[in-house]
Structure 1
């Protein structure tokens, strides 16, 4: 840091230190102001200009240094100088002071903050560059945050100083006027009766309701600004139009119909979207076939002799399509039509915020939900277009099994399909550019999955990048497809394959249906940009599912659909922010990896002070009996607190085991509650109880246990004294009896004694 910045910081810190060291804040209270009001009034009458300038400078200093007391100074200024003169003084003094605070923040902190957190602030920077004046004006008009915080934070953004000053001058004027009006009335209170006078009550009421009024006004202004170029229809054909019949669209239409809204669902391809036709359903069906083959190969482990098992790949694929057909009626036009949804097959085009065209027919609607999903990413790798490449959309059309399958991408889709095809008989090579499979998961979870894939025979190449595809003729005259891989250390490797499966992520479908015409923007990830209510630029147009992100999960799309529909149909009464805090996810490899909340990696990134409790499933009785004694459960809690921040489960049926932790997190239950729940024995669900038991042991109240130990020691000592006394009494009795009556020698008599 340069000397000039150090000097500025030193001056600011010194001034603030003087303020608190001499307790100058005591002079900026309503009580002190009222006590000195008469004396100050006499001074002002004697020297009005000098008094005004001193007040002005003091106000600027207090505001520039972000010291407490500005609100009291506003009320006091109104009482001393009257409404109009104080409005002039305070309006300019507050804006100048705010601008100085803004400049301090910019000069001292902005470069450091942008350098360290620029990648996270990029979206905010873009928003400020585009609509910074409007955002600032809204914050000034609606004092949700203290003004000094706004001053300091805006200094870290790209907004210009000139724009900051102008907007602040205008934005704070209305709120300043309300405060000054209250101050003029408070200055007139001379007795208890003055407190309940109408002018004072009106002024105090204005202070309370002003933020609400300002918020309502800003909503109206923003709405008119956004819809300015569009003509709103006088009536509407639909309450809601949903574009896309995948998970997000189907649930949106279902909920809208359930609350008796008139809703149209438009799908250009197949009902059910990716999940039914090319995603969740077929992938889990092939995983089931692969798991069966893996179980057969393990039969000898359980004492069962089998002949050599063979895979009929065509039958495996046929079953997958039969599974899709069996589930298809759940998402069919017939079912949703019976539920009250108007289902239309065709290409939708959004013409305006309230108009959608499909098959040449134009319909008007109050709300639109965009649920157009995503498609597999096909990278621009040289030569890729010349080889036989597959995606998660096209792989289900295979009828002949690739002998050598290359999989690009070590995420959930890549790992699941690589393992499945390997178990079904393909020779699979999995290539991942990062050094870890399942990069979002903790390394211990990833390591278990990698070990399992390698045990199945998958050849894993982490830290490798595909740079070029090519076709050549071998010595037998056969055409061979190959890929050139490179590492960060400039090492290269060529691998031949019969087919390559691309599992490099998915791209949101945001083009071809009118978003460009409406000016609806997309994020850095290429998804439709939405706010916390899932609204786009236009408050009546929503986006859910893969097209909106941030999660590409079927249940996440369904979760978002509820918020979009409720906010669309009933948002004028109450809006709900989408809550992703308890959103489970699972990767269906063997072992499965399931997670809810944050994991260890994310806890460290967020700087959370946390504890970890881990339970090894290899210790669980049911897992041992099933031959599935591998994996673990790991729970993240705040340091010393019984609150679940996240849980990761790795093992057989991990997705099922995760449900208990998801339920606990959703309803605020801690590990103590799980420990106190009876679980049937022997089951895999007991793993949750034993995890809670491990947490309890690590967090046992040692002070209380020490006291309990002392209590038990005292109880043993007390009982020993009683026993000794009883023995003395017995001995005396025996001695007396010996004199009078000979004892019995039989064992029965001895026991009687």
Structure 2
């Protein structure tokens, strides 16, 4: 039997998703030698099964919805002719366009040694990948997460999709059953109903239950108005049937029938192949145990992104990559924080959040909290485009925002301002000093500063007295 090949790089990155690719590209361009392992597809879940394909399908759905609802703009509404297979080809094209940026060839051009094998620890210092043993100075585990498939009786005997298989489909579902009313479930529910499918969401608790209920209600009301059936408090207890005729029974006896089934109940960390026990790396129920600097219980190993068991967003993995590069490559102190991390649900309207929700802020800050609210309906651009549904809430404590919640058109684009504010502990006075171009939806953010200062300026008798004195003495 031939001897295995042996490599001794500065850095070993396990997993070529967004976090792993960011670490590998950053480290190698700074002069570190890097080996990158990927046993499945370069680009990971985000490129192939998550962010990119879902947003591409949502774009197709928006195009169909626009055709059917153009009359208020003076353009006759028409019933869109949806070609589901062509919509999925649009998804495939979006993936293919981005793919070269995440490809093995690009990373090898950068100087990264790419091995298309899964990695497995064989000791605290060594990882085996195929016929290669790697003994690096530092290790970064960036293996991400996979769809969680719950042990519902009967599920194993019926065909079903997860986000890893849905975008390979070319035949439009007549009636899509979705188990799970979280972000993935609700995004795909609205996309499919707009593409001409009947859709039923079966949620064991409350749909979008992790977000501010006032914002969630607006999203869910819109989806119901568009034809999505949303069954809440409906814990799936049994699944039966066959391809084209699937039935979900819930614990309270309700039955839901459809032609296709999508499982969207959450994610699980990809740790099964790693043999972490051989490396002395401890885990929790959510993933790999790390400290605030993303180090595992093996001091030479880091874990980033979904597998680290925290917030499961692509931008968090990229943020983690920067922390690890600072620590493992540059040898500088680095610690993570989460208060400035935004998240977005890409429904229509979009729902975006950064920092504390209103409920969390009230619990944390009590009577020191002020909640400032501005509505889309007061924004000229929103009025011009008939996109007046939604609002912004900013949670302010002693002049500093501690959270922002937004639901409405392009909320995901606008929440970035508040992420910047929280990341740099800016004050509302600094938002007031910003000049927003007119007319834009971004003026909603500026209006929040106006709503905060208006009562302090216009309803303040001291201010009025000072102005009176100034006016009396001005030449």
Matched, 1:513 2:240: no
> 1:50-69, aligned counterparts within 5 Å?
none
Match of 2:452 among 676, 692, 695: 695
Residues 183-236 of structure 1, C-alpha deviations (whole Å, 9 max, x = no match) = xxxxxxxxxxxxxxxxxxxxxxxxxxxxxxxxxxxxxxxxxxxxxxxxxxxx97
Give the secondary structure class of the aligned counterpart of 2:41. Answer: coil
SS at match of 1:464: coil
| 2:147 is aligned with 1:376 | yes
Instruction: Name whichever structure is richer in helix by fraction.
Output: 1
Q: 1:622 to 1:534 in 2, by over 3 A?
A: same
Show the 5 A alignment for 1:735-750.
Answer: none
Cα deviation, 1:695-741, whole Å, max 9, x if unaligned, reads 112444825313235427857xx99xxxxxxxxxxxxxxxxxxxxxx
Q: Does 1:647 align with 2:404?
A: yes
In the alignment, the residues of structure 1 paired with residue 299 and residue 233 of structure 2 have an alpha-carbon distance, to the nearest angstrom, of 44
Task: Please give the alpha-carbon distance, in whole angstroms, between the structure 2 residues aligned to 1:348 and 1:401.
Answer: 37
Match of 1:621 among 380, 389, 405: 380
The match for 2:189 is: 418
SS in 2 for 1:445: helix
Secondary structure in structure 1 of the residue aligned to 2:136? strand
> After the TM superposition, which residues 228-267 of structure 1 pair with which residues of structure 2 at under 5 Å, given as runs?
237-267=8-38
CA distance in 1, matches of 2:376, 2:425: 25
Cα displacement (A) at 1:607 = 4.9
Counterpart CA distance in 1 for 2:266 and 2:11 is: 31
Does structure 1 residue 456 correspond to structure 2 residue 214?
no
Counterpart check, 1:531 vs 2:302:
no
Q: Distance in 1 between matches of 2:48 and 2:29?
A: 25
Q: Is contact 2:15-2:144 (8 Å) kept?
A: yes
For structure 2, list consecutive stretches of 5 or more residues without a partner in the other structure.
Answer: 1-5
The yes-or-no answer on 1:471 pairing with 2:251 is: no
Paired residue secondary structure (2:76): coil
Q: 1:624-650 CA distances to partner (integer Å, 9 max, x unpaired)? A: 001101100100111xx2111111111
Residue in structure 2 matched with residue 597 of structure 1 by the alignment:
355
Q: Deviations over 1:247-275 (max 9, x none)?
A: 11001101111210001111001110000
Change (3 A) 1:642 1:350: same
Partner of 1:633: 392
Listed as ranges, the matches of 1:547-626 within 5 Å are: 547-571=307-331, 574-608=332-366, 609-626=368-385
Alpha-carbon distance in structure 2 between the residues aligned to 1:564 and 1:308:
51
Do the aligned partners of residues 334 and 699 (structure 1) sit closer, same or farther apart at CA in structure 2, a change above 3 Å counting? farther
- Matches of 2:471 and 2:320, distance apart in 1: 59
Looking at structure 1, the residues matched to 455 and 464 of structure 2 have their Cα atoms a distance apart, in angstroms, of: 15
CA distance in 2, matches of 1:391, 1:376: 7
Give the Å deviation of 1:479.
7.1
In 2: Cα distance, 1:524 partner to 1:544 partner: 16
* Map of 2:63 onto structure 1: 292
> More displaced, 302-311 or 364-373?
302-311
- Structure 2 equivalent of residue 504 of structure 1: 265
Q: 1:254-403, aligned counterparts within 5 Å?
A: 254-403=25-174
Q: Which segment drifts farther, 704-713 or 349-358?
A: 704-713
SS at match of 1:390: coil
CA distance in 2, matches of 1:576, 1:429: 45
Please list the CA deviations of residues 167-189 of structure 1 after superposition, one character each: whole Å capped at 9, or x if unmatched.
xxxxxxxxxxxxxxxxxxxxxxx
RMSD value over aligned CA atoms? 1.9
Task: Map Cα deviations across residues 489-536 of structure 1 (whole Å, 9 max, x no partner).
Answer: xx42111111111110000011112212223211132x0000111111
Asked if structure 1 preserves the Cα contact closer than 8 Å seen for 2:68 and 2:78, the reply is no
2:114 counterpart SS class? strand
**Distance between the aligned counterparts of 1:351 and 1:258, measured in 2?**
29
Look up the SS of the partner of 1:534 in the other structure: coil
Are the equivalent residues in 1 in contact too, given 2:244–2:258 (CA < 8 A)?
Answer: no
Counterpart CA distance in 1 for 2:247 and 2:427 is 53
- Do the aligned residues in 2 keep the contact of 1:236 with 1:366 (CA within 8 Å)? no
CA distance in 2, matches of 1:274, 1:616: 35
Label 1:677 to 1:274 Cα distance change in 2 as closer, same or farther (>3 A): same
- The structure that is strand-richer by fraction is 2
SS at match of 1:365: coil
| Structure 2 counterpart SS, 1:410 | coil
- Residue segments in structure 1 that go unaligned for 5+ positions in a row: 1-234, 473-477, 720-753
8 A Cα contact 1:388 1:498, kept in partner:
no
User: Structure 1 residues 433, 279: closer, same or farther in 2, change over 3 A?
Assistant: same
Structure 1 residue 363, shift from structure 2 partner: 2.1
- What is the CA distance between 1:466 and its match in structure 2? 0.8
Report the secondary structure of 2:222's partner residue. helix
Checking the alignment, whether the CA contact within 8 Å between 1:392 and 1:503 is kept in structure 2 is: yes
Q: Which residue of 1 aligns with 2:3?
A: none
Please state how far the C-alpha of 1:240 moved relative to its aligned partner.
0.4
Partner of 1:676: 433
Match of 1:67 in 2: none
CA deviations 1:453-477 (Å, max 9, x no partner) are 01111011111111111128xxxxx
TM-score for the superposition, normalised by structure 1 = 0.60
Alignment size in residue pairs:
468
Deviates more, 1:495-504 or 1:281-290: 495-504
Q: Deviations over 1:354-377 (max 9, x none)?
A: 212212111211000000111000
Q: What SS does structure 2 have at the residue aligned with 1:606?
A: helix
Aligned to 1:667: 424
Decide which structure has the larger Cα Rg and report it: 1
**Does the aligned pair in 1 maintain the 2:53–2:92 contact within 8 Å?**
yes
**CA displacement at 1:581 relative to structure 2:** 2.1
**Conservation of the 8 A alpha-carbon contact between 1:238 and 1:364:** yes
Contact 2:244 2:260 in 1 (8 A): no
Q: Looking at both structures, which has the greater relative contact order when contacts are Cα pairs under 8 Å and sequence separation is at least 6? A: 2
Quote the Cα distance in structure 1 between the aligned partners of 2:160 and 2:131.
36
Residues 302-339 of structure 1: per-residue CA shift (max 9 Å, x gap): 11125432100010111111110011011011111122
Query: 1:142-189: CA deviations, max 9, x gaps?
Result: xxxxxxxxxxxxxxxxxxxxxxxxxxxxxxxxxxxxxxxxxxxxxxxx
